[in-house]
Chains A and B, each alone.
Chain A
């Protein structure tokens, strides 16, 4: 069901990764593995380096030292095409409507027309039916998050990387995220989530990585 090979488990590994912002070291010797079916929450105060870990995982930043790798069937791959990303930015063209936005991203992801879900169905799943014809610039912050989640859902990627997905979300929105994650993990997907909210125990494979400022 995921891009390329359906059920191939994909693992993400950080080995002894060091990263600095300017001249300030954010973290050194960071190692963890995210196997298929696992969720890892990254917890910590603002500015401690949560987003940097996500961007390193995405390949948008390069580590100072150490190794970040993806592995699928014992073959190492790059992040592109295997990860879905919900960033803290909007990342939508403001002049397109919600419906057009999803149709556009479906084209970009080149999803299989045989199995692709109807856009109206997706809209109602993400609670955006009422906004289908609204341009994205007029959406509320929570609605934009929902749209970003819908885009990631369409992308159908093995690893989800999310930056504060629950920020600006109402109760039903937070529940939506939890249920999406549950379904994702059951299919063998995994997720790396930065948050300063308390993590939810979605499945027994949930862990948290805590970053604390040094004394």
Chain B
């Protein structure tokens, strides 16, 4: 399927159907999920009404990782086969990943205010998400700073691949570092003991976010293809070539 879509023409055809499909899915699931999480799900014994933040926060955290995994796969494909579409994809995934990582940090911070009484704690999980945010930012800066976009794609791909190896290490080190000095009560609040009544709203929100991710990525790649096409100068003829004896 990936090799089928690797052709820009076919991708645009696919995008014409897939884009509205995921858009509808995203809007529908989002409405259902928000209704479920705001009105249907009961307030939590421990967290009270604040538990509802979880339904926007946890899917954002999940998406920040999903986007990086997608970024890694696209970078690998781009690095090995030098394919334009993989580059467009990688950049789109990074942009979306950056936004959702920021959303994850913001909602986490609001949740922290209700749970810990402070907007920010140097808790292991929040710190590693913050680092992920910086990695996304550095990745996107590479695309901006390197003017030659073909080269930028290859350089950024190497960076993303190194990042893939490093992210688990960063996560591990930060959590280990956190366990050295944090009291247990604080880190427990971050890990909600999930009640099964929350399954429906949580999973519909996760699906909604995934649809948003698919929709926006397809949208961006399709835009990039069209932009590249419109920028292409009318097919110029190459130089005339003659070979003669001297």
Contacts and interface: CB of A to CB of B under 8 A. Distances in A.
A-side interface mostly: strand
B243 A27 contact: no
A25 B235 CA distance: 8
Contacts of B236: 24-25, 214
A43 to B, nearest CB: 9
Given A41-B246, A206-B246, A211 B235 contact: no
Interface string A55-77: 00000000000000000000000
Contacts of A199: 246
A137 B243 CA distance: 39
A29 B239 CA distance: 10
Contacts of A211: 239-241
Contact of B241 (A41, A206, A209): A209
Contact of A209 (B231, B233, B237, B243): B243
B233 to A, nearest CB: 5
B151 to A, nearest CB: 12
A150 B236 CA distance: 40
A210 B244 contact: yes
A206 B245 contact: yes
Given A206-B246, A207-B246, A26 B238 contact: yes
B239 A26 contact: yes
Contacts of A29: 238, 241
B246 A25 contact: no
B227 interface: no
B204 to A, nearest CB: 45
Contacts of B237: 25, 28, 214
Contact of A214 (B233, B240, B244): B240
B148 to A, nearest CB: 9
A27 B246 contact: no
Interface in A7-32: 18, 23-30, 32
Interface string B178-217: 0000000000000000000000000000000000000000
Given A24-B236, A25-B235, A30 B241 contact: yes
Contacts of B240: 211-214
25 contacts: A18-B238, A23-B232, A23-B233, A24-B236, A26-B239, A27-B239, A27-B241, A28-B238, A29-B241, A30-B241, A32-B243, A41-B246, A44-B239, A49-B239, A199-B246, A206-B246, A207-B243, A207-B245, A208-B244, A210-B241, A210-B243, A210-B244, A212-B240, A214-B237, A214-B238
Please give me the 8 A-B residue pairs with the lowest Cβ-Cβ distance, nearest first. A27-B238, A28-B238, A211-B239, A214-B237, A206-B246, A25-B238, A210-B242, A212-B240
Given A23-B232, A27-B238, A28-B237, 15 more contacts: A23-B231, A24-B236, A26-B239, A48-B239, A49-B238, A49-B239, A200-B246, A201-B246, A208-B245, A209-B242, A209-B243, A210-B244, A211-B240, A214-B236, A214-B239
Interface of A: 18, 23-30, 32, 41, 44, 48-49, 199-201, 206-214
